[in-house]
Structure 1
Amino acid sequence: MHVSFFSYSSEWQLNGFVGQGFIAADDTQFVVGEDDTSFNITEAAFAVSWKPMEHIRIASALSYRQWGSLAEGGANFDYLFVEYSHQVGDGILGIRGGLFKNETGFYSSTRDVPFTRPSIMLPQSIYSDYFRDAQLHIEGGDLFGMHQIWNGAIDWHVSVGKVDVTEDLDRNVMGSEKLGCFGSERYYSGDIEFQNDNLRFGLTYYDAEVSYHPYEETYYPGDIRLKNWVVSGQLRYWILEFTAEYMTGDRLINGLVFPPMADEFVDSGIGYYLDFRAYLPHEVELFVRFDKHIDDKDDADGKEFEATTGLPAYFSYTDDWTLGARWFLNSDWLLAAEFHWVEGASWVTPIVAPDPSKQSKHWSMFALQLSYRFQW
């Protein structure tokens, strides 16, 4: 469900946040690169929303994100769109056009805001950091609606356009932006969610495609296409919350590592996570989460992958146990910490050319982040 920064009660809304983190990792270069630690975990955004008339809204956010080796620091538009909405009965029907964020699962549209995501590192089985550029930012149009029903609300989106990619995708997938570049291609999706005080359910389908243009003969021109379904559910009772999301679909690859005349490579992967959370006194959250990803559901242990590629089987799957805590010091400050015990490396970069000498089967990661938000 789209969670907006903004209120419709004022013509102008201005707000933002800044967050600084630290990550330490053992037996991996994921996020930290060649070092065991990284302080290059910085996020910031300044957002503005303007309603020049009753049904029209213009919204924009300028963001900065440096996420270790996965994202180089730089300022970019997080979204920039014009929106028309109109009240229909007890609900809203609207359309927006421009640059906006997709609605996959519970957290995609707000994944870069520390206060609206459930942890520092989101479950990589659903919200992969290495492929975020090929899914997150969409240039196009979004038809949406919200309707009151069953003591809750149904929220839906239908989006079409093309993905907005950067050089981060080149490095994370291929290993270096010097080898070639990915280009923006088509994107379309549908998302529907229901939410009330105790329950939240969602269903998303998306089809995202990026093309690849090599700079040298090491790889071939081609494209990557993702066609995925995501089913989401959440139950809240007393101080407890249970969240689960499941993704299944196909990854289709033409070219890149295969000659142009070769058959299209298709693998059908699955990913899911289970998150148990307790909301304690003094605005403290504790959670434990299990996150699982398999590149090919017909090769869950990776033996066929190893026989075909010569790489260790653990590069085809990942099991991640996470223990974490979040503490809202007050309404504006958030301190978060988490520890990951991981087996496997299916979402460790670079995806196309993994290096067993730099990535172990069993590895761990600790993350810490302090964030501050403001609003006028």
Structure 2
Amino acid sequence: MLGLSCGAGAEPFELPENLQIHGFATQAYILTTGNNFFGDTIDGGDFDFRELGLNGSWRVTPSLQLSLQALSRNAGETDDGAPRLDYGFLDYTFIECTEDRWGLRLGRVLNPFGFYNDTRDVAFIRPSILLPQSVYFDVNRNLALSSDGAQLYGERHMASGNLMLQLTVGLPRVEDPDIERSVFFGDQPGKLEPQPSWVGRLAYESDGGDLRFMLSGIQMRLGYDSAGLRDPLSDGDFNLDMLILSAQYNARYWDLTAEFVSRSGSLRDFGPFFPDLGYTGEGYYLQGRYRFAPHWEAMARYDVLYWDRDDRNGKSFSELTGLPAHSRFAKDLAFGLRWDVTPSFMLRTELHYIDGTGWLSELENPGRIGTERYWTLFSVLASYRF
């Protein structure tokens, strides 16, 4: 419009060279029995799961690139759709040769752990509508997705395959609405504050990509800023340490993926009304995908989560807190079907049979009182990308 108003002599607007812009739009319907997930999904289901994203990258110089993604995400009470920056960083490559590549990213960088975390926001790349929740929690997605800080990365190309290393040091994101309830089993008047943390991943991929192995480590630190006299809690610290082992085999028409996570958490110095506590939990899943026809794919997965491996059935936790024992574990048997209608448009459907409520949102299921141990989740998803 501005060009037209200035007459025929105006110069047309041109995008910078080496600039790429992409986007995606995803809409899902979820229906559950017994418990809510991403909205009021029990009575008739809900369409309150939506992702709208725009990302771009600009190669400023051969060794410097700018990348970012803006996202609006609705996910029931756990995400309200407010636009935000998922990631945005400068990527400088300071060594690049035939065998090696080393670089540094500065800004809001993606947390490198497991197979799917740094690509979890694009439905076309996820292996399913919902990622395996034993490793990739969706109720606190922002905390897991990215951090504000620096990331060192390196690659070594060999005849037998490729080695890749990523190490991030920064501040975790704590804007998830459900995060305080996840940490304290309820809402508190104070607020959580990020503290310096790190995430690292060492990966090996065989020549041809048929075998992939990863070792990921996380040390996440959060502090609690007490609200003063009206707060029963004192200033304290929440620490979370995770170790993830990942393996994948890729054949022509099928692939098999397994991941195991050991998760240790501790809450310290919150005062007499919240005694110090610690726990070590674990989770794992086994997933298979089969491309049985052009543009069609079937998925099956068994996913297990235990918040405390010394109290797998949650009985001791229930006796201590009065909360349901089944809130301390979840076992999920899932089946899915994918149809790539076109290269840009995809349809998916998924069915989950679940024992336990270990990865439910506290906001959508307050106190998890009245939740059902055995429940099902059915979902249909449509996604478009450009």
Q: Quick one: which of 299, 307, 316 aligns to 1:287?
A: 299
Secondary structure of the residue that 1:204 maps to in structure 2? strand
2:202 corresponds in structure 1 to 192
Extract unaligned runs of 5+ from structure 2.
1-16
1:5 corresponds in structure 2 to none
Secondary structure of the residue that 1:321 maps to in structure 2? strand
Secondary structure of the residue that 1:135 maps to in structure 2? helix
Q: Quick one: which of 42, 46, 64 aligns to 2:50?
A: 42
2:329 corresponds in structure 1 to 317
Is the counterpart of residue 15 in structure 1 residue 25 in structure 2? no
Higher alpha-carbon deviation: 215-224 or 356-365: 215-224
CA distance in 1, matches of 2:381, 2:282: 29
Deviation at 1:148, TM superposition (A): 1.3
Secondary structure of the residue that 1:355 maps to in structure 2? helix
Is the counterpart of residue 84 in structure 1 residue 92 in structure 2? yes
- Could you say which structure has the larger radius of gyration? 2
Deviation at 1:150, TM superposition (A): 4.0
One-letter amino acid of the structure 2 residue matched with residue 100 of structure 1: V
CA distance in 2, matches of 1:32, 1:263: 33
Is the counterpart of residue 250 in structure 1 residue 247 in structure 2? no
Secondary structure of the residue that 1:304 maps to in structure 2? helix
Deviation at 1:29, TM superposition (A): 1.9
2:238 corresponds in structure 1 to 224
TM-score of the aligned structures, taking structure 1 as reference length = 0.90
- The structure-2 alpha-carbon separation of the partners of 1:84 and 1:280, relative to structure 1 and needing over 3 Å to count, comes to same
Q: Quick one: which of 255, 264, 275 aligns to 1:241?
A: 255
2:3 corresponds in structure 1 to none
Q: Quick one: which of 287, 295, 304 aligns to 1:275?
A: 287
8 Å CA contact 2:38, 2:49 repeated in 1: no
Deviation at 1:261, TM superposition (A): 8.1
Higher alpha-carbon deviation: 49-58 or 27-36: 27-36
Deviation at 1:356, TM superposition (A): 4.5
8 Å CA contact 1:39, 1:68 repeated in 2: no
One-letter amino acid of the structure 1 residue matched with residue 149 of structure 2: G
1:3 corresponds in structure 2 to none
Higher alpha-carbon deviation: 309-318 or 53-62: 309-318
Is the counterpart of residue 364 in structure 1 residue 376 in structure 2? yes
One-letter amino acid of the structure 2 residue matched with residue 241 of structure 1: D
CA distance in 2, matches of 1:97, 1:356: 40
Is the counterpart of residue 157 in structure 1 residue 129 in structure 2? no
Secondary structure of the residue that 1:297 maps to in structure 2? coil
One-letter amino acid of the structure 2 residue matched with residue 21 of structure 1: A
Over the residues paired in the alignment, what is the CA RMSD in angstroms?
Answer: 2.3
2:37 corresponds in structure 1 to 30
TM-score of the aligned structures, taking structure 2 as reference length = 0.88
Is the counterpart of residue 342 in structure 1 residue 348 in structure 2? no
8 Å CA contact 2:102, 2:155 repeated in 1: yes
CA distance in 2, matches of 1:306, 1:291: 23
2:345 corresponds in structure 1 to 333
1:6 corresponds in structure 2 to none
- The structure-2 alpha-carbon separation of the partners of 1:14 and 1:227, relative to structure 1 and needing over 3 Å to count, comes to same
Deviation at 1:327, TM superposition (A): 1.2
1:75 corresponds in structure 2 to 83
2:4 corresponds in structure 1 to none
2:8 corresponds in structure 1 to none
8 Å CA contact 2:263, 2:282 repeated in 1: yes
Secondary structure of the residue that 2:319 maps to in structure 1? helix
One-letter amino acid of the structure 2 residue matched with residue 143 of structure 1: L
Extract unaligned runs of 5+ from structure 1.
1-9
- The structure-2 alpha-carbon separation of the partners of 1:176 and 1:357, relative to structure 1 and needing over 3 Å to count, comes to closer
1:135 corresponds in structure 2 to 144
CA distance in 2, matches of 1:180, 1:39: 33
CA distance in 2, matches of 1:230, 1:198: 20
* Count of residue correspondences: 363
